Amino acid sequence: MLNYLAPLLLLCNGLAAGVLFGTQLGGFPYLASLPTDRYVHAHAFFGQRYDPAMPICLVGTVALDAVLAVGASEPAARTLFAVAGVLAAATALISVTKNAPVNRWMRTIDPDNLPDDFRDPRHTWGTWNRRRSLLTVAALVANCAALGFLL
């Protein structure tokens, strides 16, 4: 079982962590540097590119961590898989409650005709994105450490 689930877990968690880490290195700094109208256009473009891949990767990470937390032979590995699963679940929760609503809203805004009451979400969105990036990378570290106990 481990021979099949562990690579799939690392694939799911690694893809999610890589995408979010990439947003910290280049995606968000680029968006933060744009004038508001160009930011709205770019955010709407980027915001739709990661569905459904990111949700699948995060849900897959949580599910696989749960299975491995129950089925791993070493107590340390079980604990680390459980911790990684909680970290990935926290990432998914932040994504669903904080980042995805902004992404959906930004796709509805016309960058050439911004509403008078437009409030730039970059600071708040960026803060939550940083948190979920850290959580997902921490989950990947925990998963790698768990597998270290099993190899």
Q: 2-43 pLDDT, tens per residue?
A: 899 999 999 999 999 999 999 999 999 999 999 999 999 999
Cβ atoms within 10 A of the Cβ of 29, count?
Answer: 11
Residues 80 and 65 sit within 8 Å (Cβ to Cβ): no
Residue with tokens 């990684």: 84
Q: Is the peptide bond before 29 cis (omega within 30 degrees of 0)?
A: no
pLDDT in tens, 118-127: 999 999 999 9
Residues 88 and 64 sit within 8 Å (Cβ to Cβ): no
**What type of residue sits at position 118?**
F
For position 75, what pLDDT does the model report? 98
Reported as a pLDDT band with limits 50, 70 and 90, residue 47 is confident
What does residue 116 show for φ and ψ, rounded to 5 degrees? -60, -30
pLDDT at 50 over 90: no
Q: What is the mean pLDDT of residues 130-135?
A: 98
Q: What is the mean pLDDT of the chain?
A: 95
Q: What is the mean pLDDT of residues 66-89?
A: 98
For position 1, what pLDDT does the model report? 86
